[in-house]
Every structure is written in structure tokens, then in C-alpha cells.
Structure 1
Amino acid sequence: MPQLDLATLHEAIAAAVPDRECVVWRGGRRTWAEVAERTRRLAHVLHAHGLGVHGTATRPWESPHDHLALYLHNGPAYLEGLLAAHKARVAPFNVNYRYVDDELAQLFGDARPRAVMYHACFADVIARVLERIERPALLIQVPDASGERLLPGALDYETALAEAPAGPLEGVRPDPGDLHILYTGGTTGLPKGVLWRIGDLMTGPLGLARRDGTPITDLDEAVERATRSRDRVLVGPPLMHGGGTWTALGAWIAGGCVVFPGRVDGLDAADLVATAARERVTRMPVVGDAFARPILEELERGGVDLPELRTLLNSAAAISPDVARRLQERLPHVRIVDVLGSSESGFQVTRRGASDGPFVPRPDARVLSADRTRRLSPGEDELGWLAKTGALPLGYLNDPERTAATFRVVEGERVVIPGDRARLLADGRVEVHGREATTINTGGEKVFAEEVEGVLRTLPGVRDALVVGRPSERWGTEIVAVLRVDGDGPDDAELRAGCAGRLARYKIPKAFVRTRRGLRLPNGKADYAAARALVADAGGTGDGTGGETGDETGGDAARPALRRR
């Protein structure tokens, strides 16, 4: 099936609505025509340094492109770098700006960037890591408030753009088969580079489709749809993760304007809500309670209204039912849409409102048997695997084994199986149990951490909860809950009583560790490594005494952040 590519579509929309706002940040406003020209200039810079596509890949874990690392906070430069890469037929990839030197060196060793575009505040880290890897052909430093000097041999971003030609690259024609690389968060192992063809990404996760779900492949039809759009999308979650990037690009290919909050190195709920009101945003992505709760508290303080907002799109982590209910009461005109998916699949299932019940599957979602050999029928009482068909990535960069294990053919369909366990109910809805990687085997019983966490987060005084296992002489592994609480929070007896009505006895945590620190990574996902460290520091052997570990407020949960479950 013919497809469209990002670079061609963006240029066509810019020609149709040149003076419409395309991106807004801190009062700076760039039109579609201005963004189109700036990205053409950057594409010339990349091309002048020899970057592009070289031949074709013959295996699904290979890339024929040179790669551009985007080591940036949110802002116009991130999206300009991404779009310019596609105009030059360079494959962009995301860099987690929270990585320390060893993690960054490992990532660059796998991705092999030929160019790195980075904010000035990261210059020192880049300088250290360059001593450990093959030096890229091009370094582009984006100025910021840090005032860091330009690294030797690096180009200043704005200077490079000003000196580059403004016209299209001659002889370079972007293709829907060009790659876009999305590195996973690494929460269940080392980060893996997911190889998306940009055409598949657009008709899949980015939503270039008609109301009936059929993909839009005609350029004129896509542009005509975009000219009708008045969407203004506020992107708070970091673009360094799939959910943030997909939300922003989805807005662009639909002709919308992307708006960033003033603060981009952490979550500032007051700033986020004020920006939403001032810029009349119509859609806003959130990442579970880490975003929803502080936004709710800001709204409940009063003084701000969001009459233009129509959709809160939640992904990457769950919103507690009470928080969702209060949000719905405060914003009755807004739809709360909860989506679940992964870097490898895009969104697979959805639910609306304040419910914490089963999900509604997309038409291309599947639930496979436990042995991954067949599709389950509604009502089969088997705990299987959530899967997806349709527009899918090719595989994982440099990893044939994981590619073969995750991307399979079942009953004649190519499917991706990211790792979520699920049950297909008789009414066709999907009951999602969580990631196999977070399953705890205790006393011969399997317990899904996310099920227990969801119950704990509904209890009064509990702001957040993660569940991990620790060695136990009696149980082999026992369940321990790490809680972020208000004040002293509920005592152990209250916590166990709150769990008892909704969980089997073997699922109830044997111990509770309390903390005032955040339990989330910048993207809002669960920081299980931090939770395990807190449990180790607390000590104990499951006697139920719990503990208090740390008195910091905020932590990673106070910073910004699909649901990568």
C-alpha cells in the first residue's frame, strides 16, 4: 500500500497554511512557513556533512541511514531536528537526557550516531562521552540558558541555520520507507532501538487515518484534512520518549499547532495549566498520576479555567480512579482517554472516563494464547499476551534475536508481542494484567505488580505506589510495596485492610516501605530500580514493619515526563 512520509506532508501543509502557527514556546511563535524553511536549512547542514541514506537494508534489524542523536529538552529545536533529519533522509533517534556517562556511551555504541544535536547544558557530558566512542562527523549545539561555551569543533545551531541555503535539498527525495528510530526506556532491560518506517509510523501511532480507521495515503486528502484543523496540543511529557514525540508529530500531520510549557526540564503544574489557558489548547497528554494529580491540585486551587480543552490523553501510567473522577468533575466538558501501548506497537487498547476497568481493543489489537501460537476467542479463560498487527516496526536495531522473539507470524498475521499479559473477556473487552517483566512469583503464585499498585493508589493518603519482590525464606520471593504518602500516611493495618477487599490474600504486600521521594522516571513511568533500592535500604524480612526511607519531596515524580508497560 502506498504511504506518505513526514517531510513531504509537512512541506505540503506549510504551502497550504503558511501563516498558521506551527509551534509556540515561551512567547515565541513560528509559523508553518518558518518551520519549513528552518528545517530545510538544517537538512542542508546534515547533507553538507555527508549524512543521508546509503543503499538499502536487507534484514529487519539493519539501518541503511546515518543516524542523528537528539539529546535535547523539549522545545522547537527538538522537532526541527527530527523533521530536518527526515528531509535529509537521516534516521533520528531519541536520547534520554537523564542518562549518566556509562548509559550514554552504551546507547551511542549501539546507535552509532553520525551527528549529535544537543542542548548546551549537556556539553560537558558530550565532551566526556566523546572520549569513549568514535567521534560523530557533526556536533550541533543548541543554545540555552546554561550559557555553556561551544564545544571545540561543534556548530552553533542558529549560526549554522543562518548560513545554510533556504531551499529544498536537490536530488534528495524523502521516502515512506525511511527509518525513524525510537529507543525504548530500558525499564525492563537495556534500551532497544525500535526501527519504524516513517510511513508505518504515520498510519499507525501518529493516526494518519480516516474516522473509520483506514489509512490516509493520498497527499491532497491529508492536506485538505490538515487545513480544517484548529487543534492546539500542549506537550508536557518529554519528547525523548515515544508518547511525547508521537503526540507532537500527530498534531503536526493533522495540521495542528504544538505548544510547549515554559519549563521543559521538569514538571511545573502551575506553568502547564497557565500555558494551557493562555494558548487555548484543545488537547493535552498526561502521564498517569505523576501528571494528573498535580494538574488537578492546581485546578482545584482555582483561578484558571480551560474552556477550550477537549481531551486529556493519558498514557504510560495509570491515573487513579479518584483522581480521574475529580478531574472529570472539574472539567466536565473534557474527555479523559486512557490508552495503553508500547514503543513497538503504538496504542493497542483504550478506555474513557474515570473507569479502571477493562479496555476496548483497537481493530488491529489481538490477544494471543499463552504459548503465542493462536488468537484467543472472547471468553476463553486463558491468560494470554496482548499483541497487535497492522502498521508495525521492522525490528530492533542490531538485535536479530529480540526481533525474532517479539515480531512473529501467528495464524498468517505478522504481530508484535511487547510483553503485556492480558485476558480477552466474553464481551470483547481486554483485561490487562501488566508486564511479564514485573510479575512476581511468590509461594508458587504469580502476582502482577501493576494490579497491586492500582489498588494501593486508590487508598486514602497514598499518592503513588510501586510493588517489587525481595528474597524470602518462606515464600521464595515476597511482595513489598513502596509508597509515596501524604504525611505519615495510613498504617500497615489500614493498608492491608484496604487491599483485602480487592486482592487475594497472597497478593497483599508483606511489608510497606514509605518515602516522600518520587517513584517515577521523567516520562512518568515506574522507576522500579529506585523502588528496589529503597526496599534494600529499608532492610527487614517481611515482618510487616515497613519503614521510612528519605524525606525529599518531588523527586522524579516532580519532573516531566506511551504507556511502555
Structure 2
Amino acid sequence: MPETDPMTEPAGRRSVPRKLDYPELTIPQMFEDSAQHRGSAVCTDFLGRTRTYEQIADEVRRVAMGLVTLGVEHGSRVAVLLPTCPENLVVTLAALRLGAHVVQHNPLYSAGELEPMFLDHGAKVVVAWDNVVPAVLSLRERTPVEHVIGVDLTKSLPAKLRLALRLPIAKAKESRKKLTAGSLPDGARPFASLGEHGPLPLGQPGPRPDDIAVIMYTSGTTGRPKGVPLTHANLLANCHQGVAWTGLRFGEERFLAVLPMFHAFGLTVGVLLALVLGAQISMVPSPEPKLMLDAIKRSDTNFFVGVPPLLEAILDEAEKKDVSLRGLEWVLSGAMSMPAEFVQRWESATGGRLIEGYGLTETSPVVVGNPFDSTRRAGTIGLPFPDTDTRVVDPDEPSRDVPEGEEGELLVRGPQVFDGYLDQPEETEKAFVDGWFRTGDLARHDGDYLVISGRLKELIVTGGFNVSPIEVEAVLRKHESIRDVAVVGMPSSRSGEQVVAAVVADGELPSNEELRAWAKQHLTAYKVPRRFVEVEELPTNLLGKVVRRDVVDLIPDE
């Protein structure tokens, strides 16, 4: 089938329009509209401290003015390295209000991991969690970074909790360390300083819908991270598609935001969709089961997006604490497939629905989802979103569609799909064919539904995050006991895939624990191989290139 046919609604399926009208708005205009209608309603809940839409709107205006004093203007880039927290929301909306591009980064990245991305996007202003400010400051000598703003997460806590964290006991000290460094080094200023210049004048020019709003980085098969610019129109299109798809109601929803805002799924569906709906957002800075469960019960959450490992952690914690999850009406899961047994376990515990969807950073992210009703089909990623077309084609001849039921590469197009990678025209050209985005994923049609069957790309997806084998291999080869290495993804029931390294040793190979400890000094935790397996040699093709599918055969079952 050349492209998705208009859906005819079978019995039991909620009617979803195939075509939508999209408001000509930017993200700041959307937020201001929601704030106007929901002024005194709770916008954010952060570990028990709430802020209303009116309060967040006021902070956005003041922080925007603070950014102006640092030289931020239309087209500037502001880098953000923060967990999911109110400050991340405020600075993101403030920068967008000025027409700046927000570059969301993982705050746990090392300086070495951040440097190529900072050289790529050139942000001069950085708003970062104070625990990682030293790493950011070290970039100033080698990148365009000029201004570093540090965020102490304890400032957003309820007063009682802030006082409790100052108690001179070991547990309080340990909890406090997870949230703040306690002080800022020379060369950085506190987040509060951005609000000292008064509110932004009402007449300040803003962005246009087709301007870039956010830049996110995705690992490439070459090992070089690729910047993905998403416009206001891209992101809001995906939000409005989400509203139509889910049937969620303005002013009536309570979201849990636990996926990070540097993850497209977490930013768009976890936060921006909530703002479009004027919903309450319970923000959790780290995926600790107790924090997530406390937030769900405190705010009576009825919708959130997650990945299977997070859902399993919540369910395990609820069962251990004998806490009811009834009332969690809808959960949208992505990044990896879900076993039917787990779906049944979750729905039995919550009385709600666990729905699987599919998307990529380049598509804002969601393009396909299961219906939010009884016609959802376990084991599939569902049906295309409104105004979204899909094809399954021959990967070697992408102009040719494969017969229905056969495996091929999934192509997509729609208003949520980006226009191309940041300053990488060759990568952009490879990514599109006749206006269709090549996902790199293998899929097949099962009637109207789509099933993901594999991946053309060599990226490893673990816990919802992309890992470039080439990047990890480059780091591991620096170890004195590793002569050569190939990194592959192995199936994991907990994380989708597990990062595993097949190693050709130079002398005696240290223990798995020692190699992991060394790798953690140079790589973010999710990129560190869970296992190091010693092999005599790596399988290669006639050109000497490592054949990863043959490497997988060398890895014994755990």
C-alpha cells in the first residue's frame, strides 16, 4: 500500500479524525492561552510544592527578561541541562518566548560527551543543574559558552522538606546530595538572578510557528551526534494529534512527568501536551520508584507516558508497599515492545489501559499509536496518527512498497516530521526519499496495524535511550587491556536491549566490575556495557568491517 488509507472505524473504536485543523500558534502563545484560562489552577507539582499557571507565567516573563540581559534574542541558542523540574519548564518557555532555540541535553553527560554537541550548536548561555556546573564551566575554554546559570533543585521543594534535608543526619545529607551541590563555583550565577530584572515587556517580539523551537541530539550510526531541530509547528502538531488520539479533556487531566525533557517523548507528550490541555503536571526529577509512586498518589495521576522499565518499577513498588494504583486511566508506552503478560498485569492493577505507541526524535516524536479503546492490538505499534502517512518499502529500493505482510523499512511523513539535521546536509539527504522520512526501522503491516520487527540502524535502544556502538567502542579502546572491541545490543526483558561488549584482550582482561567502573568515568551510565565478554577475534567481512550480527552469536546467554 503506497500510503495509509483513511481509517474506517470498526465497532469499539473511538472516532478519530483523519485530518485536523492546526492553530497557527507558537508554544509560548499556546502556554499563555492555557494560563489565561487556567490561571489559579495547579500547573506543576514538584515533590509536593505546587505552582499555579499564573505563577509559572510570571516566572517565565521574568526569566525571559533575565535572558535578554545575557544577550539572548531571536535565533540565539540556550542550552539546558536539567532533570524534569519546574526550572526546566520555566527556562524552556522563557527562551522560546524570545524566539531562541532551546537545546535540551542530558545533565548526566560528561564534559567529553557534551563538547562535540556544544561545538555543533554554539550555545553561549547554559542553564544547568548545579551538580553538573563544574563540567559545563570546563567547556568554556573550548566552546562558545559564556554564561553558566546553576539550578539548586532544593529551592523548588516544599519548605518542610527543605528543612528536613538540612538535618545533620546521614540519610538527609545523602538525599540532599542527590538534589544539589550546595554551592556554585566561581564563574556561575544562581538561577534566581535571572528573575531580578523585572518582567519582559508585553510588546517584545516573539517567534513564528515555523521557527525552530527545540534542538535535540540523537546518536548517529557514524558515532557523531546529530542535532534534530523541531519547530513550534512540529511540536504543537504532535500535541494536537495527541489530543485527538487520546480524547483527553482540557482542564481535567493530571499528568505525571517522569521521562526527561531532553527525551522527545518526555518533552512533547509528558509536558507540552499537558500544557495544551491545561493539565496539572507532577514532575519527578529522577525515576526512583518511591518518588514516582508518591507523586501518583499525591496528585491522583490519571495519565502519563513511560517506558516498560519505569512501569515495572512503579508496579513493583506499589505491590511491595501494598498501594493501590486504581485511577491511572491511561499510560502511553514507547521505545520498546511490551510483553502481553506485563500489559495484563498492569491493567489488572490499575483498572486502566496501557497503550503502546511509536516515534522518533525526528518526528516530534509520535507517528503511530494504538487506539485508546478496546480495539488496541497488543504486539503492534498501532495505527498512524491523524495527517500521518506510512509506507513499508524495500530498504534497497525505497521507492518500491513491499507486499502487505512482508518486512521492509518504515517510512513516514506528516506535520510533526522535522525538515533535516542541524548543519548536516549529507545526513539529511540520506534520511529522506521523495519527502518521506526513513526511520531505519523494519516493520510489516498486520492489516491496518503496524508491527516493528527490527532495526536497519546499528543503534542500541536501552531503557528508551539510543546508544551508538561506535561511540562506546571509541571510549573502550582507550583502556590498556582492550586491543579491540565490538559493542552490540542483546535482548533484555527489563530494558529492551542490553549493551554488551565483545572484547579482544591485550594481556589479562580485568573483571567485569572493574571494566564497568572504568567505563563509568567516561560514559553516561546507560551507555556503559552491562557485560564484557572476552573473544579471540571479532568476525569481519571481506573489507575488514566488523559484522555485528555475527558478534551477537559469540555472546553467551546471561
Please indicate, yes or no, whether the TM-score normalized by the shorter chain is above 0.5: yes
TM-superposed deviation, 1:384: 2.9
Distance 1:101 1:326, change over 3 A: same
Structure 1 Cα separation of the partners of residues 77 and 410 of structure 2: 33
Structure 2 Cα separation of the partners of residues 535 and 207 of structure 1: 47
Distance 1:146 1:537, change over 3 A: farther
Given candidates 83, 89, 98, the residue that maps to 1:79 is: 89
2:132 counterpart letter in structure 1: F
Structure 2 Cα separation of the partners of residues 276 and 175 of structure 1: 36
Structure 2 Cα separation of the partners of residues 87 and 542 of structure 1: 48
TM-superposed deviation, 1:464: 6.4
1:530 counterpart letter in structure 2: P
Corresponding residue for 1:367? 391
Matched, 1:174 2:207: yes
1:369 counterpart letter in structure 2: V
TM-superposed deviation, 1:39: 0.5
Corresponding residue for 2:532? 534
Structure 2 Cα separation of the partners of residues 310 and 538 of structure 1: 52
Matched, 1:24 2:49: no
Matched, 1:344 2:344: no
1:30 counterpart letter in structure 2: R
Matched, 1:159 2:178: no
Corresponding residue for 2:69? 48
Given candidates 184, 189, 201, the residue that maps to 1:150 is: 184
Structure 1 Cα separation of the partners of residues 438 and 525 of structure 2: 21
TM-score, structure 1 as length reference: 0.71
Structure 2 Cα separation of the partners of residues 210 and 464 of structure 1: 28
TM-superposed deviation, 1:260: 1.3
Structure 2 Cα separation of the partners of residues 338 and 420 of structure 1: 16
**Partners of 1:239 and 1:245 within 8 A in 2:** yes
Write out aligned runs for 1:30-429 (5 A). 30-53=51-74, 65-136=75-146, 138-144=147-153, 145-161=179-195, 163-186=196-219, 188=221, 189-204=223-238, 206-207=239-240, 211=244, 228-246=250-268, 247-261=270-284, 264=285, 266-288=286-308, 290-331=309-350, 333-345=351-363, 346-351=365-370, 355-357=378-380, 359-363=382-386, 364-370=388-394, 371=396, 373-374=398-399, 376=401, 379=404, 381-409=406-434, 414-425=435-446, 427-429=447-449
TM-superposed deviation, 1:537: 8.1
**Partners of 2:258 and 2:287 within 8 A in 1:** yes
Structure 2 Cα separation of the partners of residues 132 and 439 of structure 1: 28
Q: Deviations over 1:432-461 (max 9, x none)?
A: 122212399xxxxxxxx98x83xx63xxxx
Distance 1:319 1:126, change over 3 A: same
Structure 2 Cα separation of the partners of residues 306 and 419 of structure 1: 37
Length, aligned pairs only: 451
Tell me the secondary structure at the aligned position of residue 535 of structure 1. strand
TM-score, structure 2 as length reference: 0.72
Structure 1 Cα separation of the partners of residues 400 and 23 of structure 2: 28
Corresponding residue for 2:474? none
Which residues of structure 1 form unaligned runs of 5+? 54-64, 214-224, 441-448, 473-512, 549-565
2:369 counterpart letter in structure 1: T
**Partners of 2:380 and 2:451 within 8 A in 1:** yes
TM-superposed deviation, 1:236: 1.2
**Partners of 1:16 and 1:227 within 8 A in 2:** no
2:281 counterpart letter in structure 1: V
Tell me the secondary structure at the aligned position of residue 213 of structure 2. strand
Structure 2 Cα separation of the partners of residues 155 and 381 of structure 1: 57
TM-superposed deviation, 1:117: 0.4
TM-superposed deviation, 1:154: 3.1
Tell me the secondary structure at the aligned position of residue 369 of structure 1. strand
**Partners of 1:351 and 1:359 within 8 A in 2:** yes
TM-superposed deviation, 1:184: 3.1
Which residues of structure 2 form unaligned runs of 5+? 1-21, 154-178, 461-487, 505-511, 539-550
Distance 1:536 1:86, change over 3 A: farther
Distance 1:544 1:37, change over 3 A: closer
2:391 counterpart letter in structure 1: V
TM-superposed deviation, 1:545: 8.8
